[in-house]
Structure 1
């Protein structure tokens, strides 16, 4: 393979500038301080960290009362790319960044309880191996009261200092936490732990998050390597945490078959004997007559996705209204809505209504399509690396054209000399 001449390397660097100037898209929501629970009137700053052009991005929320709005409307104070909030209980809800074209960032859940006790736990995912400290705080003083810490409904530790440290978190530490002290009980918050790769994944058949009473669903643990010791677990809305085959579900090989009841609504996942976790899915079995058929598992960008508004009776193809993040997006006489090629902007909270009632809400996750390793290696790694080091020039296009000609002439000259 002929080595690139210095001139060609310059061309590669400048081509990278074009790549940078086009922007890589996407945004993430950061929160400071990084926690999901706040006492009344505490200050929290929410910022949109955008790759590429940040114009048009803003912080949006959907409160527990179902009010969808932007920062600086009737809440928060916009300061540059950040939104500063002094929250009260009515500010509890889901927050995210959104562009003018409808692209979404990650979302965080913020809770401002009416009570005087909160659990300080991370709102953003924590990385496996990091040290994490959970604090049980009281509105008054002192705030270092003896506290009991609970995970997934079970007492795990009592600390006289009011705080609990996990020196090196692992996937087994992921779960639903709360605390109690002499002043009361905090709300529950989910702590997410990210690792480089999962050894197991949970599949759902049929792939949807809402079911009618007595419908059947098959949940399977797909394990890389030895599957011994993995079992399906759940945490229901009533607080029950148990394995398939105890008082629910029928184990069949690596799967668990469940004939669903409203009491089966909750979070399901696979877990190993050593505490490793798979992904988790949320299943809802409403008492009402209407459900929204939407994917429980993440869908890949570019795929076609159909959402169906189903009625328990017949016909099930009643005219339906479809909502995303609280806003009406489409009315369909067939009772179903198709997105031909989903993108990150389609990620969000969906529900539907028809003449028989309203479905619960379900979150649809969209993941980006992954290029092949060859494409990643040859065309993405170096430009992305250089993007962080270089800035553009107003004369870039002209320079590149000249360098292309120069590179071509130099290469041809080298070839003639070799002959």
Structure 2
């Protein structure tokens, strides 16, 4: 263990000592009460420590200390406070508080007496032997001045006071809050007739500066008083005038004008609005009450003024500025602008031509046109905006208005037309993976679907620029009215695209992005091999993809199935193979392309953790054996695994592998494994079907065999009847 470290916290709150009674002079034998007050720490639970003349007193922990004045003429006391729940957290010590003790002297031979109150004093002597009294002495006036100095505060506390405003001055005796005082006020060194009040209400006069000071005397001792306070200067400014401005003087039907009111003296003003007369204030339904801006929709003559004061800043103000000069707002009824779209088709495709026309009621002569749009291309100042070869830059909202070539008249903005430029149609194929003997259906989607389209169908042919050229499918060069097309006899991986056209002469959309139908069957002219030969892989592994066949120029394609993202991978790097590092979990289809050749396609998925199923990438021929395994990320192959086909448990027992000795067509399906609560993803195991020789159908062969059997029975029966006839004849 380390050495101990003691942490002490000292608060910035400093204690202050107060005395009761608050007399400045204490006589021997009098009892006084000292109180230790922690400023700002009234809600904290404290212990208190007291010292007298720098020596700790035995009595402690009490906030109040009772002291009997001793014969010492001066004694100094100070205090400190410590938190009750944390003895290491305390305040600093207070300032020293001095108790001055006077000795009370009776009249004696020297005729000297000490007094503690002010007033008029006289004395006379008396002989001790005879009791003879002398004449009274002359009067002696004793005036006591306390060190407590009054301070004047003002409400409201604004830095600037305006002519006619009422303010309140308060005379505060610091440290004498519990004493009973009379108060005296002076203005510009002249006593005011009003006296004895702590509070003085003043209405600011035209004088630019007035000085006020105050003095306090004890009510029970008019000869004991404070000094005069410091002079308090009240600076008075002339009554301000509100300023009214506007963003425009004319407004059209349905629009608003913004009025702004200001006072050229910052000080927490509220603002009041008036229309048509200074006695007709606007209500909260007409304007934003008390705000310096107001939006008005009615024509008329407007004023404003500022105000401040009131009870707690609410209600009617006690002081107002002068009214502003008036502003007149008028309403105009302008010509109306209308924006129309040719063909009334707000959704258009790239490459089409369209026009927007801005028309003004009463004719288009003498107007200049102004356009506002959110698109990237701004129209010129013409009445008709023609857009040819539409692109995404034309997409957005449009509106227009007219400005008179002579004069300041303008129309309001027209209605808004939203133009949507669709980039290209979308093509879907069904099925995505080829089934032997099945046809492929292509569907071309336009957004939104609408009548009047002709559809055109294309085969995607790889080119040397990491893209495709498009060749029309046989018999489709004139287009089809139906948005679907069926391809028969497709056996290998292939890409397709579509476009649409409408109008006379027709305007064509761009080609759709290529969409692919994949085949897992390997053929000699183009093939893709994967090493290691399995569908599922961990992200920490790398795999090798090799394109082989009749071409020497191949490109490897990857299609991310979750994102529908097609990408061209870099060329082969090592021995004709492309090595891929699996950096993130994903599902993808890979295939090779060269010229018109497409290889088989393979499904590859990568996983960051858990277990994976080892299953073949390629279709398994009927009759061959296959083994499925469950593998952990460490490479271990557990021996207690459950295997599932199409989400159904194959056998209710654990095993290390699943072996199918002779694969049949019924073994095709989705497989997965489960180990210790962790489950692999599903993988499709395809089966390569055995192709049958062409010939008579089986039902035909069966029918022929049946007919031959029937003929044989008839011949046998006839033969027996003939034998019987011959025998009878011989007899």
How does the TM-score come out when normalised to structure 2?
0.30
Structure number having the greater helix percentage: 1
Please say which structure displays the higher CA radius of gyration.
2
How does the TM-score come out when normalised to structure 1?
0.49
Indicate the structure whose relative CO is greater, using CA pairs within 8 Å and at least 6 residues apart. Answer: 1
